[in-house]
Amino acid sequence: GQQLNQSPQSMFIQEGEDVSMNCTSSSIFNTWLWYKQDPGEGPVLLIALYKAGELTSNGRLTAQFGITRKDSFLNISASIPSDVGIYFCAGLRGGADGLTFGKGTHLIIQP
Amino acid sequence: DAGITQSPRHKVTETGTPVTLRCHQTENHRYMYWYRQDPGHGLRLIHYSYGVKDTDKGEVSDGYSVSRSKTEDFLLTLESATSSQTSVYFCATLAGQEQFFGPGTRLTVL
């Protein structure tokens, strides 16, 4: 089955740095979602994108829905220790379909 | 809080035994999903339900069955567990175009 190509696989950064990660696909999605997962917990929705070209912010997080509908990126500005975790992109073709996930970006922040 | 609980949260079982995982939601959402999460694979869809008694297969449905007799409960059954089904299982519900996840069940098949 198809999965999204998410990169980078892991990031080691200093506290206060900005972070950027992205997802690409060979096919079109109508909705892009970004989740964060902490150890031992389920994914928590951060940002949802519904229109090609849409740029959406949630606090220090900014995400964009690529104009081709085949990609999305997530930026985190001024990282803090609680940003540590695994970030997943997910694409949705139809409203009630299951999500197609990327393999995740593991964010590690060094104080 | 998406109002989703999963039980059990952890289970260890032996190969060949039947296992049932339960997902319970309090938000009266029509659509419910079961995913599994494995290292190197992210989350993959097993089965989903679009209403009471209405279910369909996902990407990795072999070896799994589901049932939904009430809106609030979605059960995932492994008829005869295998070691390849050792995984973390997540339930999700759909609100609008956004899926919200439960806390997961860690299943180990020895």
The secondary structure element, H or E, covering residue A66 is none
pLDDT at A3: 72
> Within the 31-60 window of chain B, which residues sit less than 8 Å (CB to CB) from chain A?
31, 33, 35, 40-45, 48, 50, 58-60
Give the model confidence (pLDDT) of B90-104 as tens digits: 999 998 888 999 999
Report chain B residues whose CB lies below 8 A from the CB of A98: 33, 35, 45, 48, 58-59
* Three-state secondary-structure class, residue A23: strand
Closest CA to B76 of A80, A47, B88: B88
Whole-angstrom Cα distance, residue A89 to residue A3?
10
**Backbone phi, then psi, for A63, in 5-degree steps?**
-135, 150
Query: Of the given ranges (B8-12, B83-87, B95-99), which has the lowest mean pLDDT?
Result: B95-99
pLDDT at B12: 98
Task: Nearest by CB to B48, from A3, A95, A98: name it.
Answer: A98
Q: What is the block-wise mean pLDDT of chain A (111 residues), using blocks of 10 residues? A: 85 95 95 94 95 96 96 97 96 85 94 77
Give the model confidence (pLDDT) of B58-79 as tens digits: 999 999 999 999 999 999 999 9
